[in-house]
Structure 1
Amino acid sequence: MDIVSPEHHQASGFIDHCRVSVPGRTEVAGNHQDHQGGCVIASAVDRRIVCDAYVDAGSRIRVRSYGHGECSINLADPNCWTSRASERNTTVSLVRGMAAQLMQQGVELQGCTLDIHSDIPPGAGLSSSAAFELCVGAALAAIGGWRIIAHRDGVSLEDDIREKRLTPLHLSQMALHAERAFFGKPCGIMDQIACAFGGVILMDFANRVNPAISKVVLPPSCDGYTYLLVSCGSGHEDATSSFASVAQDMQDAADAFGVAQLRDISMGQYVNDIGRVRAEYGDLVALRGLAFFEEFRLVQRRVEALRRDDAQSFVYLTNRSSIVSAEHLQNVGFPGDHEDAMVTLALCQRVLAELTVPVDGTLCGSARIHGGGFGGTIQVVVPNDKVEPFVERIESLLGTGACMLVKLGAPGIRVESAAA
């Protein structure tokens, strides 16, 4: 992971200004796996949020996000660190949540202004909220005299806190708490870790709060493909309750077996006794529980495909994942008249079929719902020689600018400059 710390940034002592940037992320494989102990391949992307933090004489943390307005919290308020129901699903809740977490770890917060710019499109499934949380947290810590350092295995949180150090994992855990307890979204920690660590990584969430993280090297065969996101025409900013229902349904399926998470039983055990889930919680819960096992297996097979340098198999298995999302997880769209994501997915698959040389009917690329689902974007992997005709055809159907080319493997949190 690539973190650039200012040379003059000492282990203690405030600084007047710093610049922090954090990338967005894309979930390459592993839909709704993190909250049930599964595995995810994720990558930081070449879209970033940048924060210039300036210390000022006031008692407020003021955030000015260009294009998204301004908010602030008052450090002099004795109840400053308490989550507020009136702030649920708002930007200020994330600022308050990160400030509260930092204060609890001993960071001495100062009045400051955070000027934020971002080219991560909101509602596109690139985890703009996770990137925002991390950017705010890293900036507040840095101007408070704390160092942001690379993660090291075997070093305890207590040791780092004593030396006024924070790692990407520490910040990710704080951001998770801010999003769950203050913003009100029952998410897992996958988004935060992917943005914070950067690169392409495999996360194993057998321990959901402290997952095993390993680097993924994309083999040469992947160089023959381009990664695109196709806009559905509607974001998923208002889909918090739908995200929550997926997580809750999967947890209900685990509860039916008396386990903490679905990872704790085998697919065979689940399938052989799926009737108890149907009887107690209904068919949608049963299907979403089954989706966990199907996707978990598909992630393992895609990891194996990358290890043997077989991008074609990776693409094929990703199309299988798309079917699991649509049929089992049912997170592509909202049933009824607003099926933007489902229509976009169908059109992407149709165009890929048009571009495929008919040999065995296997699509030349893949298309699946991206991230948590319910709108946002469709993730499409296209052979390099098919990118131009794919984009031309899709944008003739969905409008100019519907396709966004995304590059994988961007660096994670960066403290890019500071002035004493």
Structure 2
Amino acid sequence: MAKSDFLEKFENIETIFNDIYSGEDGNFHLERWIRLTEFHENRYNDSSPRLFSAPGRTELSGNHTDHNGGVVLSAAIQMDTIAAVTREKGGGGNLVEIISEGYPPVNVNLSQLARVEAETGTSDALLRGIAASIVRRGGRIGGFRASTSSRVPKGSGLSSSAALEILIGSIFNELCNDGRFTPVELAQMGQEAEKNYFGKPCGLMDQISCSVGGALLIDFAQATTPDIHQVNFNPLAAGFTLAILDSGGNHADLTADYAAIPVEMRAVASVLGARYLGEVDERRFMSSIGEIRKKCGDRAILRALHFFNENRRVHSMVRSLERDDIEAYLEGMRQSGNSSFRFLQNVFPPGRIANQSLSLALALSESFLGESGAARVHGGGFAGTIQVLIPSSNYSQYKKFIEGYFGEGALIPLSIRRLPAGELR
């Protein structure tokens, strides 16, 4: 699609890009979309494909609370996965092909919707799983050809897999179902596909954040139908830049460390006759610590303490945003990070003291920022990324300082995307 044709088709493109890529160069993204449509036209001979976008997400507070019926503050971000899509001629057929930059092609025949063992851990599994979820809900599926490009870094803690899941769900939703499924239903489909087809246990926070858009307060007391509220948060307008820092570190063999957190929290809940900590009265927990120590050990108690305190902290941080009190928000962010480090204990793997990249990133960031900003572990932890909130006036100095230790490009600025995932219109 030529640039002039693109601008003619999307007369309101400046508004669309501002809602998706706020704070970034619109011309950069225009050229990115043009390159994608030109690639798609050359491959599939379609000069006017349908265009889709699904964002990554960042966790703002509520570290490791979603899997135990807690509350989370999260946000969709400007980094997205985009697609140019052509439906199979006549709207029929069962073949799906997805060509993605830097990834193997996805080729799936939708006439077979049962899980394929050999596809475990692949994008093919996600696509097949989402298609199966749509059919189980009475929806329709059909073949299509898609060319995609992603700016959500893989392994960054920004949910590149959830972005792809929501992108695929949005394509099926618009091409075959006239948009009948809600963003939350698309999120549920993505979670089902990731758990049952891709083979990775996951909560629902990532998919909801990517699908719904904006900053969200999510209450997982009802895990399958969480309560969701939009929160007004624009760090740039408050004079701050939100970013993540990739500290490197070794992600290998961390599955057991991740899995131990929800297991230990649920073990505490089980002592008190509940399934999840979200079902436990905190006063009863506090009065039962002696019994819990004998059955679960001290670390499980510390992680449960983090859970209860973090839930309160999420609500407190939301109230700070509602009254435009950025200083109170920063203090909540610092407390969240300290709790993750001291009580949740997901900043470095147990017994591997030589490699503490997250600890070092946090220590260096705190020494630079002082009380002017905040830093906390981001997402699952143990390795990978921290999240920082920096006065925009100091961003370039912090970037130079921190990348001197972790390498050029380690600091990634984020802005909050207001639009939900879906088709460009």
The TM-score, its normalising length taken from structure 1, stands at 0.83
Please state how far the C-alpha of 1:329 moved relative to its aligned partner.
Answer: 1.2
Please tell me whether the aligned partners of residues 254 and 349 of structure 2 are also in contact (alpha carbons under 8 angstroms).
no
Partner residue of 2:349? 334
Q: Give the counterpart letter for 1:73 in structure 2.
A: V
Deviation at 1:115, TM superposition (A): 1.8
1:40 corresponds in structure 2 to 72
Structure number with the bigger relative contact order (C-alpha 8 A, sep ≥ 6) is 1
Q: Partner residue of 1:171?
A: 186
Q: 1:276 to 1:181 in 2, by over 3 A?
A: farther
Q: Deviations over 1:49-92 (max 9, x none)?
A: 1122223476432222211111222223xxx3223444333222
Q: Distance in 2 between matches of 1:220 and 1:229?
A: 14
- Residue matched to 1:291: 306
1:405 to 395, 413, 421: 413
Residue 108 (structure 1) aligned with residue 123 (structure 2): no
CA contact (8 A) 1:98 1:175 kept: yes
**Counterpart position of 1:188:** 203
Q: From the superposition, tell whether residues 272 and 88 of structure 1 become closer, same or farther in structure 2 (CA, over 3 Å).
A: farther
2: CA distance between counterparts of 1:220 and 1:200? 11
What residue is the counterpart of 1:359 in the other structure? none
Q: 1:237-276 alignment to 2 at 5 Å?
A: 239-276=254-291
Query: Could you list the runs of 5+ residues in structure 1 that have no partner in the other structure?
Result: 5-15, 149-164, 354-362
Give, in angstroms, the shift of residue 129 of structure 1: 0.8
Match of 2:8 in 1: none
Match in the other structure for 2:178: 147
Structure 2 SS opposite 1:223: coil
8 Å contact from structure 1 (residues 53, 143) kept in 2: no
Corresponding residue for 1:97? Answer: 129
Question: Does 1:29 find its partner at 2:37?
Answer: no
Give the alignment partner of residue 398 of structure 2, picking from 387, 390, 404: 390
- SS of the aligned residue for 1:166 comes to coil
Which stretch of structure 1 is more off in the superposition, 372-381 or 123-132?
A: 372-381
Q: Does 1:277 align with 2:296?
A: no
1:305 is aligned to 2:316: no
| Residue 81 to residue 236, structure 1, CA distance change in 2 (3 Å) | farther
How far off its partner does 1:113 sit? 2.2
Superposition pairs for residues 186-225 of structure 1, below 5 Å? 186-218=201-233, 223-225=238-240
Structure-2 separation of matches of 1:220 and 1:131:
22
Partner of 1:157: none
- For 1:340, the aligned partner's letter is S
Report whether the alignment pairs 1:65 with 2:100: yes
CA distance in 2, matches of 1:240, 1:396: 30
Could you tell me which amino acid in structure 2 is paired with residue 97 of structure 1? Answer: G
The alpha-carbon distance between structure 1 residues 176 and 238, as it changes in their structure 2 partners (threshold 3 A), is farther
The alignment-based identity, stated in percent, is: 34
Deviation of 1:25 after TM superposition, in Å, equals: 0.8
Q: Does 1:347 align with 2:364?
A: yes
* CA shift in 2, pair 1:219/1:229, >3 Å: closer
Partner Cα separation in structure 2 for residue 120 and residue 237 of structure 1: 21
For 1:414, give the aligned amino acid. Answer: G
Question: Does structure 1 residue 320 correspond to structure 2 residue 335?
Answer: yes
| Deviation for aligned residue 1:17 | 4.8
The amino acid that maps onto 1:75 is L
Corresponding residue for 2:35?
Answer: none
Q: Distance in 1 between matches of 2:227 and 2:360?
A: 36
CA distance in 2, matches of 1:323, 1:301: 16
Look up the match of 1:358: none
Query: What is the CA–CA distance in structure 2 between the aligned matches of 1:115 and 1:99, rounded to whole Å?
Result: 18
- Deviation, 1:278, is 2.4
Query: Is 1:233 the counterpart of 2:268 in the alignment?
Result: no
In structure 2, how many angstroms separate the alpha carbons of the residues matched to 1:22 and 1:367? 27
Show CA shifts across 1:292-348 (max 9, x none). 112112112212222222111110121111111111111223231332222222222
Structure 2 partner of 1:375: 383
Corresponding position of 2:167: 135
**Cα distance, 1:232–1:113 mapped onto 2, change above 3 Å:** same
Residues 238, 404 of structure 1: alpha-carbon distance in 2 compared, 3 angstrom cutoff: farther
Conserved 8 A contact 1:219-1:309: no
Residues 84 and 333 (structure 1), Cα distance of their counterparts in 2 relative to 1, 3 Å cut: farther
Q: Which moved more, 1:247-256 or 1:22-31?
A: 247-256
- Distance of 2:132 and 2:348 partners within structure 1: 35
2:372 pairs, out of 364, 369, 372, with: 364
**CA root-mean-square deviation:** 2.4
Secondary structure, counterpart of 1:188 in structure 2: coil
Q: 1:86 to 1:285 in 2, by over 3 A?
A: farther
Range with bigger deviation, 129-138 or 229-238: 229-238
Higher helix share: 2
Aligned to 2:152: 120
CA pair 43-231 structure 1, distance change in 2 beyond 3 A: same
Q: Distance in 1 between matches of 2:298 and 2:343?
A: 10
Distance 1:242 1:135, change over 3 A: farther
Please, which runs of 5 or more residues in structure 2 have no aligned partner? Answer: 1-15, 21-47
Aligned-partner Cα distance in 2 for 1:239–1:97:
26
After TM superposition, give the deviation of residue 241 of structure 1 in Å. 4.2
Q: Distance in 2 between matches of 1:267 and 1:88?
A: 39
Q: 1:415 aligns with which of 381, 401, 423?
A: 423
How many residues align? The count is 376
Contact kept? 1:221, 1:311, Cα under 8 Å: no
What secondary structure, in the 3-state scheme, does the structure 1 residue paired with 2:238 have?
Answer: helix
For the 8 Å contact 1:23–1:410, the answer to whether it is kept is: no
Q: Which residue of 2 aligns with 1:153?
A: none
Q: Contact between 1:123 and 1:235, CA under 8 Å: does it hold in 2?
A: no
Return the alpha-carbon distance in structure 1 between the equivalents of residues 154 and 241 of structure 2: 22
